[in-house]
Amino acid sequence: MPSKFSHLYSKNAKEMKASEIRELLKLTERKEVISFAGGLPSPEAFPVDKVREICNYLLDEKGPNILQYGTTEGVTELRKAIADRMVGKGMNINYHNVLITAGSQQALDLIGKTFLDPDDTVIVGAPTYMGGTNAFRSYGALLESVPVDEEGMDPEALEDKIKQLQMHGRNPELLYLVPAFQNPSGVTMTMERRKRVLEIAREYDMVVIEDAPYSELRYSGQAIKPMKTMDEDGRVIYLGTFSKVLAPGFRVAWCIADKDLLNKLIIVKQAADLCTNTFGQHIAAEYLTRGYLDQHLEKIKSLYKHKRDRMLAAMDRHFPAEAKWTKPEGGMFIWVTLPENIDTKEMFTRALENNVAYVHGASFFADRSGRNTMRLNFTYATDAEIDEGIKRLAETVRNEIAMHKKETPAKDFRPDEDGMVFGV
């Protein structure tokens, strides 16, 4: 039911729609449904005892101070601990370059608020993280997609896209990337492409957002340095978060940027929330400085590697030859591509009847292509659920393929039916 005040809503708010997928996701909460839909860490991975120990220490030793308002830029101990960690990854920064935000999602919103006027252009991957596209859209930005393949965003296609846009008088301002174990595809951008994409960003004067919530979750293969380590002129804004490596409930994340740009983001954040949750920041600072994060990472990496391998093995066993999927070296997601005439959004109802859930791929494409794709999360389900859920999903896929054998490709997407999709 529309509110009786909806005629007073801002233009932007009027355009923000909840998607039917949210309603569908509610159905996945039925306990008989095995869900690979949400991007959730495993509850087994939350360090409850260590958090309890730190909370007791903080309340006993630091008392009321940690419950006070804090500065907008964040708790200094935490900023320093994060700066040290990022310097260790090769970034040439110090704690004055660090802003603590309420999740990386807030940083995406603040960046949108800082840079975007209605009809400004943002370039995103196809596919990409829907929380990013939604944040930019909420400021009236126009999104343009560039294909992401097994090596990340394709630089040639990026340059072609920019040239095409410029021919129409449009100069893209922001380039949004999730280079490491991308949500949704699990793909990691190669070093060669990172360098080339950065050169292109310099040449066409775009600010690059390097959104890296999964970068510490590598289970195999060689580490690749963040783009921020190659940033010569401060045009890369790097986003990190405790959500996937400690717990998302804290809503503590960090944004690393050139000092002057960071100062602007701080001013913008002041109007949003004054400061990020100080208690959570103190807990995160202790967690880092006591070395608990590194110990914990070892534990969750082995847990998640096991789950990834379990899901890939189950897919090898059960999925039909027509299905293709990524073999991510880290992160939380496997990306599945089905034959072109399969629409995973339509198939979702059948999957639910079979008590298994995923996120249909089109929600990760700004142009709503990718109708034959889907995202599977491998970190949340138990081993037994992975085995059984993949079996059910494979059966659903087989039936769907059999049903569509003689049909023509799926009909075109109609954006107004789907609205915007929110979620991790």
Binding footprint of ligand PLP on the chain (CB under 6 A)? 39, 103-105, 129, 131, 178, 183, 211, 213, 241, 243, 248, 253, 424
Cα 340 to Cα 171, 236, 322, 344, 412: the distances in Å are 33, 36, 10, 10, 12
Residues 6+ apart with CB under 8 A from 284: 78, 242, 246, 250, 252
Closest contact distance (angstroms) between CB of 241 and ligand PLP is: 3
Closest contact distance (angstroms) between CB of 176 and ligand PLP is: 9
Residues 6+ apart with CB under 8 A from 116: 122, 136, 139, 140, 141, 173, 174
Residue 241 vs 344, nearer CB to ligand PLP: 241
Residue 325 vs 380, nearer CB to ligand PLP: 380
Cis amide linkage into residue 2, ω under 30° from 0: no
Residue 241 vs 278, nearer CB to ligand PLP: 241
Closest contact distance (angstroms) between CB of 151 and ligand PLP is: 18
Residue 242 vs 319, nearer CB to ligand PLP: 242
Residue 332 vs 362, nearer CB to ligand PLP: 332
Answer whether 215's CB lies under 8 Å from 188's CB.
no
Residue 64: helix, strand or coil by DSSP?
helix
Amino acid at 371: R
Closest contact distance (angstroms) between CB of 41 and ligand PLP is: 10
Residues 6+ apart with CB under 8 A from 128: 145, 148, 176, 178, 182, 184, 364, 365, 366
Q: Which residue is nearest to ligand PLP (CB)?
A: 103
Closest contact distance (angstroms) between CB of 183 and ligand PLP is: 4
Residue 105 vs 373, nearer CB to ligand PLP: 105
CA 141 to chain centre: 19
Closest contact distance (angstroms) between CB of 353 and ligand PLP is: 28
